[in-house]
Structure 1
Amino acid sequence: MKHWAPLWGVGILHLMTKLRAFAHFRRKTRWLVALVITLVAGAAIAYVYLPSSTDTSSQKQWVRVEPQLLENRLGLVGRIQAATSLTIAAPFEGVIADVVVTEGQRVKRGQPLLSLDTAQLDIQLRQALTELLKAQRTVQDLVEWENSQDVARVRRTLTNAQLSLSDTERKLVDTRALFERGIVPRMEVDTLEQQAKVQRLDLAAAKEELNATLDKGTGENRQIADMELANAQSRYQALQVQQAQRELVSPFDGIVVRPLVQGSDKALSIQKGTRVTQGAPLFGIINLEQIQAVARIEEADLHQLYEGMPVQITGDGFAGLSLQGQIKTIGVQGRSSESQGAGVNYDVLVAIDPLTPEQRQRIRLNMSAKLAIVTYRNEHGLAVPAGALRQGPDGQIFVTYRRELRDPAQQITVTPGYAVPQGVEVVGLDAGYVEISGQQ
């Protein structure tokens, strides 16, 4: 018993020491858990109620805006056509003397195409010259009509009638005096009176004939002669012009084509020795100096176009080339589309600026073309992203603006304009930075 008593007391003392250490550890653990719970709760409150600077910076950003060229373009699809084409016709009836071009050949302005024989035309020309000379002589005679032989003859007749009448009247006076004295019989007086009466009639007739003859050089006769002379001159000059056209040349740079004979599907054979009539089509020349593009536009887009608008023309067939032009005409009468329910289309004709020689070599008629029509243009416009525009409580549109990034932000009221590829055009804003939301 004495031996075991000290051992039992030592064990109790050791157990009490451990219990006191465990109690102290529990108190420290309880404070540590409370501290952790407090920190977690504070972090949660801060996350919920305080804005995150990282979040804000990811949702909003500042974008530089400054004046630049703003354009809106309307795209159409069309084809290249010749602005003008001309049919070269035979200026007179004759035989083809020579042909120096072929179908499809490119020709320059003034280049010879073919020549005609003028043998038959020369005969007509000489005949016309004869008629012209006759008409000129007739008019010249009428101009000097008062001194003509016909007028001189009639005047001589009138003078003779006057002299004869004067002589007869003098004899009649003498004979009457002798009759009163009883020297001559009454019959001689009666004879002279009858002779004077006839001569007075002859004198009146001579005067009328002189007036009629003088009238031939004036009035309608002169007008007729002048018109005949004018006709003869015109006929002769027309034949001279035809003779000068015996060699036909191209009026402009273009391509030679064969025109179809009217009322027939066959083209006229143009070769040396072929007889052609006046006005017969010989060649067609398609002008390459001036071309145009033809496209169609729907009625919904028609309000955007007007004559004179600039147009840029490109195409797969002439890749790398950009042609410039302007709208020449817009169709007045619409064309109904074949598709059911489709709207009306209108023709748009675009005049293309003159081509350079290099461009002419690559452009072909009926090539497809893409037309970019500038419907709006501002050389010094300012556009902002749509996300930068905000509406205030008063309905005003504003942007958050900084002239430089280091400057404080301010709200600037702006007036929105056209929507352009760069964003929305605005008025009332200078170059600087605008704030946009990344979510928009």
Structure 2
Amino acid sequence: MEDRPQRLNRFIPKTRRGRIAATLALLCGLLAIWWLWSGDDSAPSAGALIEKSQVVKREPFASTLNVMGTIAPGNGIDITAPFDGTIKSIRFAYGDLVNQGQALAELDLSELEQSRNEAESAYLKAAQASNDMTSWTSGPEMSRARRAVATAMFELKDTENKLRETKALLDRGLVPRSEYDGMVQQERSRKTSLETAQEDLEATSRRGQGPNRRMAELELKNAQLRLGKLAGQFGSAILHAPDDGIVVRPPVGQGEGAASDPLHVGSRVSKGQLIGTIARAGGLGVSFRLDEADINRIKTGMPVTVTGPGFNDLSLAGQISSVAGEAGKDSAAGTGKASFTATARLDALTPEQARRVKIGMTAMVIVIAYSNPNAIVVPPRSSARCRTSSDRHGAGSQDREDGPQNGGTWPCIAHRCRNSLRPEAWRGSGVVRCGAPCSGNALILPPRRLSNATLSKRLARRHRLC
């Protein structure tokens, strides 16, 4: 029987290459055994969770909305035609910077003079009618009616006297019966004439009282107002700039009072027609459209930041001044989605800024829908495993259906507002859980599988961080 050293020598390679191969095989075996042992010790079971944490800092947080717009007159004064007429002269060009009181245009007065003459004629007629009503009782119509009554009474009295004389002669047989009958018939006619004259007198007297007199007074007042209004328009034939600013062209074909053709000498304008708008210096704004998905995020008073290719090194501040409550008529024509017009008023510009920013320039509007200068911000992946229930900011707290605490709740990040980069965490006290806030500088992020006992211990160790 071979001794032990001889048996070992039978397994040892005789060559140098063989010994190297055996050594490598031994090392691989040891490495495999170590890997299997470490994997069994650290591999999570089906019901285990592994905690993951991350330390974050407080920093400013903002949720913004970027849209394209156009520089527009934010605070303007409309210039309208004071009366119907034609343009006699124009002393400005659209886009010019004008001063308060500067003459802009002059209207021809020929049509205004004709209208004033007609108004004056109507006033004189109304004044005469009112005077007649005031002195109606002593006026010509009442006098004529009274004379008619007096004449009828005199004729009746004369006929009655003749009738008595004829009756006396008839009794004495000096006149025939037919003559007496004729006088009786004449007396009846005179009585009828007197009654008619008296009725006419009463009707004429009523015409000078009550509604007729009130109508005459109102017609006189209306004629007087119209004449005064037309006379006052003679002083507004020359249009002046009401304030310093830039003359902006009126919208063509938009609105009832907008000019349909370019303004020129000889063009006809109607009363109230918009000739231009004075955009006050430092009162510019931005007009832009919002998609129906963003309209409810924007409220009046929200701050905005405006930049543009024409003034790219300037950043203008302002705030939302108005948001349309109705979609534009042509918004859904091509895209199939409704859009709403909104405007933002810029803060007062410096003279240098006002010189560079022109009305009609393209502008990039950044609307700050939400901001917090001292927020706890976490990466989006930190809450990737949590189910989100929406809140008023568009995001919300998270839940896990398979958690053991509070009816299915695992520790996770609860965030309230999400921008394009990261969410903001709610602030409070205690360990961060679904639906629970955190006020510290460390947040417990969504866990992996770990045993409940280990999880409780690690949560206790992390509790001091929040």
TM-score by length of 2: 0.60
Q: Give the aligned residue type for 1:313.
A: T
**Contact 1:70–1:381 (8 Å) recurs in 2:** yes
**Contact 1:250–1:285 (8 Å) recurs in 2:** no
Is residue 426 of structure 2 the alignment partner of residue 432 of structure 1? Answer: no
Match of 1:329 among 324, 328, 346: 324
Say if 1:346 and 1:266 are closer, same or farther in 2 by CA, change over 3 A. closer
Say if 1:267 and 1:311 are closer, same or farther in 2 by CA, change over 3 A. same
Instruction: Render the CA deviation track for 1:129-168: whole Å, top value 9, x for unaligned.
Output: 2431222111221243232122112112202322432343
Counterparts of 1:268 and 1:119, CA distance in 2:
19
Match of 1:159 among 150, 175, 179: 150
Counterparts of 1:180 and 1:220, CA distance in 2:
57
Task: Kindly state the Cα deviation for residue 370 of structure 1 after the two structures are TM-superposed.
Answer: 1.8
**Contact 2:56–2:376 (8 Å) recurs in 1:** no
Counterparts of 1:157 and 1:344, CA distance in 2:
84
Q: Give the aligned residue type for 2:149.
A: L
Name the structure 2 match of 1:232.
223
Name the structure 1 match of 2:136.
145
Q: 1:335-350 residue pairs with structure 2 within 5 A?
A: 335=331, 344=337, 346-350=339-343
Instruction: Render the CA deviation track for 1:207-236: whole Å, top value 9, x for unaligned.
Output: 243244335446886687567545633542
Match of 2:195 among 191, 204, 213: 204
Instruction: Render the CA deviation track for 1:39-68: whole Å, top value 9, x for unaligned.
Output: xxxxx99x97999xxxxxxx99874655x7
Counterparts of 1:93 and 1:161, CA distance in 2:
60
Name the structure 2 match of 1:310.
302
**Contact 1:298–1:343 (8 Å) recurs in 2:** no
Instruction: Render the CA deviation track for 1:181-227: whole Å, top value 9, x for unaligned.
Output: 66776466435323312311321331243244335446886687567
Q: SS of 2:159's equivalent?
A: helix
Say if 1:397 and 1:236 are closer, same or farther in 2 by CA, change over 3 A. farther
Name the structure 2 match of 1:106.
97
Q: 1:227-306 residue pairs with structure 2 within 5 A?
A: 229=220, 232-251=223-242, 253-256=244-247, 267-270=262-265, 275=266, 277-279=268-270, 283-285=275-277, 287-288=279-280, 291-298=284-291, 301-302=293-294, 305-306=297-298
Q: SS of 1:133's equivalent?
A: helix
Q: Give the aligned residue type for 2:247.
A: V
Q: Which moved more, 1:312-321 or 1:162-171?
A: 162-171
Name the structure 1 match of 2:367.
373
**Contact 1:312–1:325 (8 Å) recurs in 2:** yes
Say if 1:246 and 1:265 are closer, same or farther in 2 by CA, change over 3 A. closer
Instruction: Render the CA deviation track for 1:238-294: whole Å, top value 9, x for unaligned.
Output: 4224312112123455433677999x9984544xxxx55453989533534654433
Q: Give the aligned residue type for 1:364.
A: K
Name the structure 1 match of 2:181.
190
- Gaps of at least 5 residues in structure 2 are 1-33, 43-50, 254-258, 386-399, 430-437, 449-466
**Contact 2:149–2:198 (8 Å) recurs in 1:** yes
**Contact 1:91–1:279 (8 Å) recurs in 2:** yes
Q: Give the aligned residue type for 2:367.
A: I
Match of 1:363 among 350, 357, 361: 357
Q: SS of 1:150's equivalent?
A: helix
Say if 1:199 and 1:222 are closer, same or farther in 2 by CA, change over 3 A. same
Counterparts of 1:435 and 1:279, CA distance in 2:
70
Is residue 69 of structure 2 the alignment partner of residue 78 of structure 1? Answer: yes
**Contact 2:77–2:242 (8 Å) recurs in 1:** no
**Contact 1:294–1:347 (8 Å) recurs in 2:** no
- Gaps of at least 5 residues in structure 1 are 1-43, 52-58, 400-413
Percent of residue pairs identical: 26
Say if 1:147 and 1:357 are closer, same or farther in 2 by CA, change over 3 A. farther
Q: Which moved more, 1:172-181 or 1:319-328?
A: 172-181
What's the Cα RMSD here? 4.7
Counterparts of 1:354 and 1:233, CA distance in 2:
47
Q: Which moved more, 1:367-376 or 1:305-314?
A: 305-314
Q: Give the aligned residue type for 1:434.
A: A
Q: Which moved more, 1:223-232 or 1:201-210?
A: 223-232
Counterparts of 1:162 and 1:238, CA distance in 2:
52
Is residue 412 of structure 2 the alignment partner of residue 417 of structure 1? Answer: no
Say if 1:118 and 1:65 are closer, same or farther in 2 by CA, change over 3 A. same
Match of 1:396 among 398, 406, 409: 409
Q: SS of 2:441's equivalent?
A: strand
| Corresponding residue pairs, total | 363
**Contact 1:65–1:431 (8 Å) recurs in 2:** no
Instruction: Render the CA deviation track for 1:378-433: whole Å, top value 9, x for unaligned.
Output: 5775445567769794243437xxxxxxxxxxxxxx74322356643225335433
Name the structure 2 match of 1:31.
none
Counterparts of 1:120 and 1:296, CA distance in 2:
44
Task: Kindly state the Cα deviation for residue 315 of structure 1 after the two structures are TM-superposed.
Answer: 1.0
Q: Which structure shows the bigger proportion of residues in strand conformation?
A: 1
Which structure is larger by alpha-carbon Rg, 1 or 2? 1
**Contact 1:101–1:114 (8 Å) recurs in 2:** yes
Q: Give the aligned residue type for 2:418.
A: A
Q: Give the aligned residue type for 1:204.
A: E
Counterparts of 2:213 and 2:278, CA distance in 1:
49
Q: Give the aligned residue type for 1:352.
A: R
Name the structure 2 match of 1:20.
none
* Misfit runs of 4+, over 6 Å: 47-51, 59-62, 258-262, 387-392
Q: SS of 1:146's equivalent?
A: coil
**Contact 2:56–2:443 (8 Å) recurs in 1:** no
Q: Give the aligned residue type for 1:294.
A: S
Counterparts of 2:201 and 2:260, CA distance in 1:
68
